[in-house]
Amino acid sequence: MNPLIRSRLHRLRRLAQTPRAFVNWAQLLTGMALRTAGYGPDTLRFRTRTGLVIDTPNRPGARVPVYEIFAEDCYRFAWFLGPLLMRPIQVIDIGGHVGTFSCRLSQLHAGARVQAFEPSATTAAFLRGNVLRNGFGDRVSVHEVALAATTGFAVFDDNGAGSGLNGLAAAGHAAGTATKVETVAFDDIVATTPAPVDLVKIDCEGGEYDLVLGSSPASWASVQRVVIEWHPVAGHEWAELRDWFAAVGLHVQDEDAFGRHGCVWLSREPLPPFVH
């Protein structure tokens, strides 16, 4: 599709989605338009129609996850959680961003306890603020570190202002500011989590290969669901992760492809077909 046409269609979609998903839609559209013109607020406060309030930097890459969660239900929470809604669950949110996933999951599931991991200092500040603002401070813990295959340090490519393109430089990022961040091994987190992990969400902009392939199969033994966004990384492809997960008993239930990346839902037990 012609890039200009794609851009116009994207703007039209946002124009339609904003009143449906957010109470303060007029203020949001004005703020985004002014920012495009070089003015407008640095931060937008999204008052969602579900009752949550989410603050995010007023820039396109930071706003995308808010629309994905509250306008598009991109993670398909009700379908994906299924019977897990009926019991307490332990969740690991890898790539917590400003907290849209952790906050929405906590709103839908009163028995969910979430550990959210976000290495960008700026983005983690928004994450903490949104968790506390919505009353989830007792159920969502925020860790300003990156999850990886090993515990230590790594170079993080920080594009600033809550960008959704932040990621470990080893995963192929090189557009932002190189920053040294702490890393914690997935195996170490699972070993110290107070209850068996039931659900893992992964959106770490290419870091998924190192994190998953470098982890121990035993760390995934209790995990019932995984939702993962995979990205193009030199030397890797989604099939590697698919086969690795299958070997530990987690199988693809549905997937969406978006050009050179995609989102996949995996489960230890078969789920009913998702009705698109």
What percent of the chain shows pLDDT beyond 70?
90
Same domain, 167 and 240: yes
**pTM of the entire predicted model:** 0.91
Residue 172, φ and ψ in degrees, nearest 5: 105, 5
Cβ neighbours of residue 140 under 8 Å, at least 6 residues apart? 99, 102, 103, 106, 113, 114, 115, 116, 131
Residue 275 zone, left/alpha/beta (φ > 0; ψ -120 to 50; rest)? beta
In the predicted structure, residue 160 carries a pLDDT above the cut 90: no
Average pLDDT, the chain: 91
In the predicted structure, residue 276 carries a pLDDT above the cut 90: no
Cβ neighbours of residue 93 under 8 Å, at least 6 residues apart? 101, 102, 105, 114, 115, 116, 117, 201
204 residue type, one letter: C
Domain boundary among 44, 73, 102: 73
In the predicted structure, residue 31 carries a pLDDT above the cut 50: yes
For the stretch 211-254, pLDDT in tens is: 999 999 999 999 999 999 999 899 999 999 999 999 999 999 99
In a domain, 274, yes or no: no
In a domain, 1, yes or no: yes
pLDDT-based confidence at 84, cuts 50/70/90? very high
In a domain, 205, yes or no: yes
At 177 the three-state DSSP class reads: strand
Boundaries of domain holding 21: 1-73
In the predicted structure, residue 82 carries a pLDDT above the cut 80: yes
Same domain, 67 and 80: no
In a domain, 276, yes or no: no
For the stretch 94-149, pLDDT in tens is: 999 999 999 999 999 999 999 999 999 999 999 999 999 999 999 999 999 999 99
In a domain, 245, yes or no: yes
**Angle, to 10 degrees, between the axis of helix 100-108 and the axis of helix 60-70?**
20
Residue carrying the six token digits 């007792």: 138
Please report the pLDDT score of residue 169 as a whole number.
47
In the predicted structure, residue 172 carries a pLDDT above the cut 70: no
Tokens representing 86? Answer: 């009926």
Q: Rounded to an integer, what is the distance from CA 261 to the centroid of its chain?
A: 14
Q: DSSP string of 85-117?
A: GGS-EEEEEES-TTSHHHHHHHHH-TTEEEEEE
Rounded mean pLDDT of 65-91? 97
Tokens representing 172? Answer: 């192929």
In a domain, 48, yes or no: yes
**77: closest CA among 60, 52, 45, 59?**
52
Same domain, 24 and 98: no
In the predicted structure, residue 170 carries a pLDDT above the cut 60: no
**128: closest CA among 145, 141, 139, 138?**
141
Rounded mean pLDDT of 172-179? 60
Largest CA distance in the chain: 52
Please report the pLDDT score of residue 88 as a whole number.
98
| Cβ 21 vs Cβ 104: under 8 Å | no
Same domain, 57 and 96: no
Domain boundary among 56, 73, 90: 73
In the predicted structure, residue 164 carries a pLDDT above the cut 70: no
Same domain, 92 and 173: yes
At 69 the three-state DSSP class reads: helix
Rounded mean pLDDT of 252-273? 93
Count of the separate structural domains present in the chain: 2
In a domain, 273, yes or no: no
How many residues can be counted in the chain? Answer: 276
